[in-house]
Chain A
Amino acid sequence: DQQVKQNSPSLSVQEGRISILNCDYTNSMFDYFLWYKKYPAEGPTFLISISSIKDKNEDGRFTVFLNKSAKHLSLHIVPSQPGDSAVYFCAASRTAGGSYIPTFGRGTSLIVHP
């Protein structure tokens, strides 16, 4: 039962270009979405989040877009840097009237080439 799907296991991008990581979800009751970044031998660290009342949230080089009708969100990194190379996890939560526990995808490994 994959309620949160990250269908691309890996993505390779040139430094300076845009990285777009995609995430789809099946549960329409999810109303809060988070992106985490994970380096090897470290735990996931919070990157950016978005509430379902918004369709965009921006933090520096990172922007998350939410398309509720398509049950799709994406993380844009512009410009991409070699230090962005990591595994990116999408997570979704139902904060209102249900389990608030975030459900995670399996991650997308981003490699940014110099």
Chain B
Amino acid sequence: EPEVTQTPSHQVTQMGQEVILRCVPISNHLYFYWYRQILGQKVEFLVSFYNNEISEKSEIFDDQFSVERPDGSNFTLKIRSTKLEDSAMYFCASSWDRIATNEKLFFGSGTQLSVL
């Protein structure tokens, strides 16, 4: 079965450094998402991306965050200047269409980001 691939699986960085989290969505999917889960908390929506632009974003997704689909296959999340509170598991997801009946998100296995 096709899957969403995320790299790296773990990323450790110093506070204030830039990080880029990478994702390869399922090839024929058109909608892309980033979610994150801080340990013990709910899975939080960050941003969705469609047709080469952000379609929706949460209040978490501030100016420190950006997304890009540079080459038609990769989908990246950049955090410009990491903070301690950015430490979380970051999940990439994709779907063929907007979420409606019989549609669903396919998730990658996540990148565990640790900011020291």
Name A's B-contacting residues (CB within 8 A).
2, 4, 32, 34, 36, 41-46, 49, 51, 89, 91, 93, 95, 99-107
CB distance from A72 to the nearest CB of B (A): 17
11 example contacts (A-B, Cβ-Cβ < 8 A) are as follows A2-B42, A4-B42, A95-B98, A95-B100, A99-B56, A101-B33, A101-B48, A101-B99, A104-B42, A106-B42, A107-B43
> Which residue in A32, A41, A45, A105 is a CB contact (below 8 Å) of B42?
A105
Residues of B within 8 A of A93 (CB): 99-100
Assess whether B45 is in contact with A32, with CB atoms less than 8 Å apart. Answer: no
A107 to B91, CA, bound (A): 15
> Which residue in A49, A101, A105 is a CB contact (below 8 Å) of B45?
A101
> Which residue in A34, A42, A103, A106 is a CB contact (below 8 Å) of B104?
A34
Residues of A within 8 A of B4 (CB): 43
Residues of A within 8 A of B93 (CB): 43
Name B's A-contacting residues (CB within 8 A).
4, 6, 9, 33, 35, 40-45, 48, 56, 91, 93, 98-102, 104-110
Residues of B within 8 A of A100 (CB): 98-100
Q: Interface of chain B, helix or strand or loop or mixed?
A: loop
Assess whether A32 is in contact with B109, with CB atoms less than 8 Å apart. Answer: no
CB distance from B75 to the nearest CB of A (A): 14
> Which residue in B40, B56, B106 is a CB contact (below 8 Å) of A101?
B56
Assess whether B43 is in contact with A42, with CB atoms less than 8 Å apart. Answer: no
Assess whether A32 is in contact with B107, with CB atoms less than 8 Å apart. Answer: no
Q: For B98, give the chain A residue with the smallest CB separation.
A: A100
A51 to B99, CA, bound (A): 12
A46 to B107, CA, bound (A): 9
Residues of A within 8 A of B106 (CB): 46
> Which residue in A49, A102, A106 is a CB contact (below 8 Å) of B41?
A106
Assess whether A102 is in contact with B109, with CB atoms less than 8 Å apart. Answer: no
Contacts A45-B107, A89-B43 supplied; 13 other A-B pairs, CB < 8 Å: A41-B9, A44-B91, A46-B104, A49-B101, A49-B102, A101-B45, A101-B48, A101-B56, A102-B105, A104-B43, A104-B45, A105-B42, A106-B41
